Amino acid sequence: MATRDTAWSAGTPCWADLGADVDKAREFYSALFGWEVEQLEPVEMGYWSAKLGGRNVVGLGVQQDTSQPPSWTTYLATADVEATAAKVVNAGGQILVEPTHVMGQGSMAIALDPSGAVFGLWQAGEHTGFQIATEPGAVAWSENMSHDFEGNKKFYAEVFGFAYDDLSSGDFQYSAASLGGEAVAGIGGAFPEAPSSWVTYFSVEDTDEAVARIAELGGHVILPPSDSPYGRSALVSDDQGTVFAVIAN
């Protein structure tokens, strides 16, 4: 288990939130992971914090664009959101939501990488991001799956300074992205039928049991449980069709 109460290093996945029907999401994920979910003030903001043992795990928010499917958004840490947003544009990405201050909690922006994956930028204020990780029910890993593997590696290296350890094999393209010699995220080639996206992995005690529970709660299995050197994982969706992954290390 990892706990943290200070800002995450720039370039590290530091937060994730879900834009969806919050009532349904709260019921589904609390039943699956045991989250305690509380609405943040002001109520008009439409944002909830999911916690384990009183520590921030992820956020839940009202879906802003109902023409798009519900989705998890991965936020990468930055010490200067305006400067990083400029780097995103210079490297060939787009800024969808300009840098915005969030009531003393921090500053955020929403970006699109050149392959079409949405991600967020977060400059910590009072809210530093994940306060618990790699614990059952908390985020364990984040990875960018794209249709331009080499192009996205170049993009994220230019914006965040990632170095890469290539783990590709055969037709499978994948690299561990590292900062200061420590792996912080993954970048891989997306399946032809899947959109480019950032995928959020949640830690579980038993992947097969978690997948069975997801089905009981109305979710679906996209890729069934399989083993790797890093754990047993499965790609799934919740009862609103939101894609995520579970992994037992």
Query: What domains lie within the chain, and their CATH numbers?
Result: 2-124 (3.10.180.10), 135-248 (3.10.180.10)
The answer to whether 160 and 11 are in contact (CB under 8 A) is yes
- pLDDT at position 46, please? 86
Q: Burial letters for 135-145: b for 16+ Cβ neighbours within 10 Å, e otherwise? A: bbbbbbbbbbb
Among 126, 128, 129, 132, smallest CA distance to 52 is for: 132
Q: Tokens 């830690």 sit at which residue?
A: 203
Q: Tokens 């009072």 sit at which residue?
A: 126
User: Which token pair is 173?
Assistant: 């393209």
Q: Please tell me the distance from the alpha carbon of residue 36 to that of residue 39, in angstroms, as a whole number.
A: 10
Within 62-141, where are the H helices? 81-90
**Share of residues in the chain with pLDDT > 70 (%):** 100
Q: Please tell me the distance from the alpha carbon of residue 48 to that of residue 46, in angstroms, as a whole number.
A: 7
pLDDT tens for each residue of 65-123: 777 789 999 999 999 999 999 999 999 999 999 999 998 899 999 999 999 999 999 99
Whether 205 shows a pLDDT value over 90: the answer reads yes
Length of the chain: 249
What average pLDDT score do residues 233-243 get? 97
Whether 171 shows a pLDDT value over 90: the answer reads no
Burial of 130 (0-12, 13-18, 19+ CB in 10 A): buried
Whether 182 shows a pLDDT value over 70: the answer reads yes
What is the phi/psi pair of residue 76, to 5°?
-100, 135
Whether 59 shows a pLDDT value over 80: the answer reads yes
pLDDT band at residue 169 using 50, 70 and 90 as cut-offs: confident
DSSP tag of 102: -
Q: Please tell me the distance from the alpha carbon of residue 247 to that of residue 210, in angstroms, as a whole number.
A: 9
The answer to whether 17 and 61 are in contact (CB under 8 A) is yes
Which residue pairs from 94-101 have beta carbons closer than 8 angstroms and sit at least 24 positions apart in sequence? Answer: none
What is the phi/psi pair of residue 153, to 5°?
-60, -45
Q: Please tell me the distance from the alpha carbon of residue 91 to that of residue 158, in angstroms, as a whole number.
A: 7
Strand order in the sheet with 139-146: 163-166, 174-179, 182-189, 139-146, 197-203, 243-248, 231-237, 220-228
Whether 158 shows a pLDDT value over 90: the answer reads yes
C-alpha dihedral (73, 8, 158, 82), degrees to nearest 10:
80
